């Protein structure tokens, strides 16, 4: 029996066990049990479109493992990283992925992200490398004192280059998608980086009929993007269908927020200074994208599961990265960051 059909039969058995036998004419939506709805969501059958994206990503992951001596997977703890890790587990099952996870820690991530990162590595038994730019820490670099441009340059871009040089990694796998941002729309699956780890958009290689030129010279490397052709809706549909764990920050709950320049910032710890008279307001909210908490805006939302998020996204006309303050810093655009070695 095909895995998809076996999965469908197992799901049907779970539903019958929860609800009892039902008439064929009775729609699932009429069943009142919340648990039944959760089981049904977890048992979604993946569409041919998602199966194609899944197969494509798995192919890219296997090509990377085969063609490079020392690859690494960048793990940012976000939804795209969670999907990418899930695909890697599938690609190399029953073995573990043949590369470690690397997290560049700026020391300003949400506390929930760090807890989720450590629990995921422990649960799956994976090697996790955490790198911090200690020079930046010693200099007191932070999004509060230094601003978003300097903080991103030192604690993200320079830190990533340090980590890749230290590990002598010749390929770094990441979860960037072409629909996220205009400079990322220029990327290939295999994105060449020179010996300084810089990106030259005019010096990328053609990828015709999924034929990839992965050859690199001494000191050069590749950034690999298996999710290039996915969209935000694809990611959340896959998360719902495969029941992939993601950090709770993506789901709505009451959180302490302050509004600054039209952006809702969560007060995650006491390092965020409050302005005179400013008080956090407990607001039903969630995050569409995650980063350093003083630079990441929340959105007001009641979406508490992937299905609610998908419904919300279908009605939204706003960019996924609208809350990422580093993207609207005109002195340090995403393309400029990438030219300097940012992911």
CB contact at 8 A, 91 and 120: no
Distance CA 198, CA 220 (A): 9
C-alpha count within 13 angstroms, C-beta hemisphere, residue 104: 27
Q: pTM of the entire structure?
A: 0.82
Give 94's strand partners: none
Q: Characterize 131-141 residue by residue with b for buried, 16 or more Cβ atoms within 10 angstroms of its Cβ, and e for exposed.
A: bbbeebeeeeb
Q: Is 129 left (phi over 0), alpha (psi -120 to 50) or beta?
A: beta
Give the pLDDT score at 181: 75
Predicted confidence (pLDDT) per residue in 256-302, tens digit: 999 998 899 999 999 999 999 999 999 999 999 999 999 999 999 99
Q: Is the pLDDT of residue 42 over 70?
A: no
Beta strands in 185-329 (DSSP E): 190-193, 221-224, 253-260, 263-266, 281-286, 297-300
Q: Cα(291)–Cα(258) distance, rounded to whole angstroms?
A: 17
Q: What is residue 21's predicted lDDT score, i.e. its pLDDT?
A: 38
């Amino acid at each position: 029996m095909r895995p998809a059909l076996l999965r469908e039969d197992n799901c049907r058995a779970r539903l019958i066990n929860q609800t009892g036998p039902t008439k064929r004419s009775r729609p699932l939506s009429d069943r009142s049990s919340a648990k039944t709805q959760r089981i049904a969501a977890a048992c979604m059958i993946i569409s041919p479109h998602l199966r194609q994206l899944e197969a494509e990503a798995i192919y890219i992951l296997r090509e990377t493992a085969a063609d490079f001596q020392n690859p690494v997977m960048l793990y940012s703890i976000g939804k795209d990283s969670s999907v990418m890790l899930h695909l890697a587990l599938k690609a190399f099952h029953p073995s573990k992925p043949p590369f470690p996870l690397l997290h560049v820690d700026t020391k300003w991530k949400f506390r929930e992200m760090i807890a989720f990162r450590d629990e995921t590595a422990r649960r799956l038994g994976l090697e996790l490398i955490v790198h911090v730019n200690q020079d930046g820490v010693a200099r007191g670099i932070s999004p509060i004192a230094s601003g978003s441009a300097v903080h991103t340059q030192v604690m993200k871009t320079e830190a990533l280059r340090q980590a890749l040089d230290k590990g002598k990694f010749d390929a770094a796998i990441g979860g960037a998608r072409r629909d996220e941002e205009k400079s990322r729309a220029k990327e290939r699956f295999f994105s060449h980086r020179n010996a300084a780890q810089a990106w030259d958009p005019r010096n990328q290689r053609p990828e015709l009929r999924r034929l990839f030129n992965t050859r690199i010279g001494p000191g050069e490397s590749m950034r690999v993007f298996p999710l290039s052709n996915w969209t935000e809706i694809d990611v959340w549909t896959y998360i719902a269908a495969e029941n992939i764990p993601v950090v709770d920050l993506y789901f709505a709950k009451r959180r302490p927020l302050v509004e600054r320049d039209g952006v809702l910032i969560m007060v995650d710890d006491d390092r965020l200074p409050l302005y005179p008279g400013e008080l956090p307001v407990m607001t039903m909210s969630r995050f569409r994208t995650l980063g350093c908490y003083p630079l990441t805006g929340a959105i007001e939302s009641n979406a508490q599961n992937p299905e609610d998020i998908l419904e919300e996204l279908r009605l939204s006309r706003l960019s996924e990265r609208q809350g990422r303050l580093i993207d609207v810093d005109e002195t340090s655009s995403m393309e400029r960051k990438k030219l300097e070695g940012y992911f």
